[in-house]
Structure 1
Amino acid sequence: MRETELSGALLAWYDRHAREMPWRTGPAERRAGLRPDPYRVWLSEVMLQQTTVAAVRDYFERFTTRWPTVADLAAAEDGDVMGEWAGLGYYARARNLLKCARAVVAEHGGTFPDSREGLLSLPGIGPYTAGAVAAIAFDRAEVVVDGNVERVMARLHDVHTPLPAAKPELTALAEALTPAARPGDYAQAVMDLGATICTPRNPACGICPWRDPCAARMAGTAPELPKKTPKKPKPTRLGIAYVARRADGAWLLERRPDKGLLGGMLGWPGSDWGEAPQDAPPLQADWQALEAEALHTFTHFHLRLAVRVAHVPEGANPERGSFLPPAAFRPSDLPTVMRKAFDLARPALETP
């Protein structure tokens, strides 16, 4: 089957089975003349990086309700945006989100560039996001390759080279199938196919629009593809979080440096994270160690965070951080690991 026939069959399937998403302009809407909003496409693509659709939906709805345009987001306070992002992970995305929104407003009059090259000139936008926004928002014939697309291409062509070494080959195969007509719909169709039919486990080959030409189905190798190079075991790091509450109910918090893990996020003052963390209390107090630890897994390591709590008087003067009044403190503004520490500490600090 030729490339044009393959892409045509997939688009016909997509017209009937496209997933409904709050950021998506569906095929029927496109046929009716409705164009995608580049701001919503860009925002969703940034949020979806290394994050599931299910996890992103609520965040996307909150962001677009609070900041409905790129100009609204560009004018937002950094702390407000970081707080709304809390829990979604990979916090450099939130910092780059603001940088990009402000560049779009300051340098492009609030209008996103409509080409891959123009989008790549914006801070925080890499090749994947540039291609996705160019294709989906502006119908440019750009190849868009995420994990779903890699899996579909590996099975369609029975590619046994393990990832990540197979990425260039799978990208070339995906590019060959990208049509000149409706490339935005096609990009979303391949991702939908991987998410709903050509799934990692138990692919539903019987109802796949590419069932007949799929080389891996014919070879019986589909369930084992794509192959992946085994990952190295993640190391475990240790740390200490100090959770202090003042007599008037205020909590001692600090904003982490912009660079580094959890950059720009609110958190509890603490030690470095490593093999043997050193005591680093932010002020003199009667610190009590909790038995439970806040456990969290980042991309490259596991973290075991010891939690120490203390009640402190109203005149307490911390060396690091500042006290946030109860009315201004939202636990939801904390990144996940810091919220885990808060959940452990809260019962011990509810009453002086």
Structure 2
Amino acid sequence: MIDFKQYGIDMWDTDKIDSFRKTLLAWYDREKRDLPWRHTKNPYHIWISEIMLQQTQVATVIPYYERFLEWFPTIADLANADEERLLKAWEGLGYYSRVRNMQIAAQQIMTDFDGHFPETYAEIAQLKGIGPYTAGAIASIAFDLVEPAVDGNVMRVMARLFEVNYDIGDPKNRKIFQAICEVLIDPKRPGDFNQALMDLGADIESAKNPRPEESPIRFFSAAYLHNTMDKYPIKEPKKKPKPIQIQAFVITNSKGEFLLEKNDSERLLAGFWSFPLLETQIVAQQLSLFETDSKETPTISQKTVFEKDYRLQPVWSDQTFPLVKHTFSHRRWLVDIIAGTVLDDTLANDKTLAWVKKEDLDNYPLATPQKKLMASYFKANPL
């Protein structure tokens, strides 16, 4: 256990800790959200929900969670799933490495644990894509193990509770919040304790527009009592995503079918289908232009590169489209659409390409940027 005094934290005595646990859990019993994954102790179901809830709102996750279990009801089903169906199940949630890691972890479970979800924290933490928070959540909720589940929401609550003067965004400081939760966690109801903190941090103690007067633990909170709620948690601002200019080519053939390409690389959005995309160099002088709703007309050289790479000769359209924008965690795509039609639709065999009818587009795994591109194109060209 760390020395809390070293970090300027005045840890409570056992009576206050016990009172805190009772207060928090009594509030949770009255106010807890009715969520489908809270009606089960199945570690597979809890695992799916926890991975989906990372960076995603609860209301968004529920239909994804229910469909995922319908498509992949067992660990074996997930382990053996076809990649395209797996990506289709995750389509729209983003952070697609997570579902790929889930499949690898499911394969680990089939191989190393004879298809049974591991039941200790150490074994759970060995699974691909499962970090300390997720391992703690599964261990405590599914198996009643006394393991904290410390995510950003929980660190925010702890920072206010003890006026922790350390940046919650700095990974090296996580051990401070982990140690606090190891002391506070209720050994009789560890899963409920963790979920109570999650609910509190996601709503009343949220990052934006918190409602401290409604907090059930406000009289335990040093920040509330000292009127310093606006100071905590300490968190350095994130760097702005890097803008990247992308050219999207919406190519149709004489049958009205659309050209889609599968991303066979190991890079961003691997495994998904999209209109052919060409990344172009961003120069400093263009940044102010890209941050507006205006766009730059595609150059002849970009069209020429497409014709050479795809060995197609489109008749290019003069139609213009609004700039399509999509922000990832570390980059921001600014996508310009150019449309064209080909008479000879013979496809190059060095890429994974397909001609697809409009009504069949949704049968392919399509990431959010591609859906935005289709929405922009079909708004201008209703069929």
TM-score (norm 2): 0.82
Residue deviations 1:282-337, cap 9 Å, x none?
Answer: 33312336332211111112211111222223643245332143264217731111
Q: Indicate the structure (1 or 2) with the bigger Cα radius of gyration.
A: 2
2:341 — aligned with what? 311
Q: CA deviation at 1:72?
A: 2.2
Moved over 4 A (4+): 347-351
3-state SS in 2 of match to 1:264:
coil
2:352 — aligned with what? 321
Q: Paired residues, what number?
A: 342
2:127 — aligned with what? 122
3-state SS in 2 of match to 1:45:
helix
Say if 2:84 and 2:364, in contact at 8 Å, map to a contact too. no
1:149 aligns with 2:181: no
With 321-330 and 112-121 compared, the bigger mean Cα shift is at 321-330
With 184-193 and 236-245 compared, the bigger mean Cα shift is at 236-245
Distance 1:303 1:294 in 2: 8
Distance 1:293 1:197 in 2: 37
1:32 — aligned with what? none
Q: CA deviation at 1:46?
A: 0.9
Say if 1:309 and 1:349, in contact at 8 Å, map to a contact too. no
Letter of the structure 1 residue corresponding to residue 29 of structure 2? D
Say if 1:38 and 1:133, in contact at 8 Å, map to a contact too. yes
Q: Mark the runs of 5 or more structure 1 residues left unpaired by the alignment.
A: 26-34
Q: Mark the runs of 5 or more structure 2 residues left unpaired by the alignment.
A: 1-14, 284-297
1:214 — aligned with what? 221
Instruction: Give the superposed CA RMSD.
Output: 2.4
3-state SS in 2 of match to 1:123:
coil
Q: 1:176-191 to 2 correspondence within 5 Å? A: 176-191=183-198
Q: CA deviation at 1:187?
A: 0.7
With 154-163 and 82-91 compared, the bigger mean Cα shift is at 154-163
Q: CA deviation at 1:202?
A: 4.1
2:29 — aligned with what? 15
Q: CA deviation at 1:235?
A: 2.5
2:60 — aligned with what? 55
1:285 — aligned with what? 314
Say if 2:249 and 2:277, in contact at 8 Å, map to a contact too. yes
Distance 2:328 2:216 in 1: 37
Change (3 A) 1:331 1:223: farther
Distance 2:115 2:47 in 1: 13
Distance 1:198 1:92 in 2: 29
Say if 1:153 and 1:173, in contact at 8 Å, map to a contact too. yes
3-state SS in 1 of match to 2:219:
coil
With 81-90 and 166-175 compared, the bigger mean Cα shift is at 166-175
Instruction: Choose which of 330, 342, 345 in structure 1 pairs with 2:374.
Output: 342
1:253 aligns with 2:260: yes
Residue deviations 1:26-55, cap 9 Å, x none?
Answer: xxxxxxxxx511111000111111222122
Q: CA deviation at 1:350?
A: 5.8
1:297 aligns with 2:302: no
Change (3 A) 1:93 1:285: same
Distance 1:157 1:107 in 2: 42
With 137-146 and 305-314 compared, the bigger mean Cα shift is at 305-314
Q: CA deviation at 1:234?
A: 2.8
1:238 aligns with 2:268: no
Q: 1:161-176 to 2 correspondence within 5 Å? A: 161-165=166-170, 166-176=173-183
Letter of the structure 2 residue corresponding to residue 7 of structure 1? R
Letter of the structure 1 residue corresponding to residue 366 of structure 2? L
Letter of the structure 2 residue corresponding to residue 333 of structure 1? P
Letter of the structure 2 residue corresponding to residue 53 of structure 1? V
1:228 aligns with 2:235: yes
3-state SS in 2 of match to 1:122:
coil
1:5 aligns with 2:34: no
Say if 2:162 and 2:221, in contact at 8 Å, map to a contact too. yes
Letter of the structure 1 residue corresponding to residue 316 of structure 2? W
Q: CA deviation at 1:248?
A: 2.8
Say if 1:331 and 1:339, in contact at 8 Å, map to a contact too. no
Say if 2:168 and 2:233, in contact at 8 Å, map to a contact too. yes
Letter of the structure 2 residue corresponding to residue 239 of structure 1? I
Residue deviations 1:123-153, cap 9 Å, x none?
Answer: 2222222121111111111111112101110
3-state SS in 1 of match to 2:246:
strand
TM-score (norm 1): 0.89
Change (3 A) 1:203 1:286: same
Say if 1:38 and 1:137, in contact at 8 Å, map to a contact too. yes
1:46 — aligned with what? 51
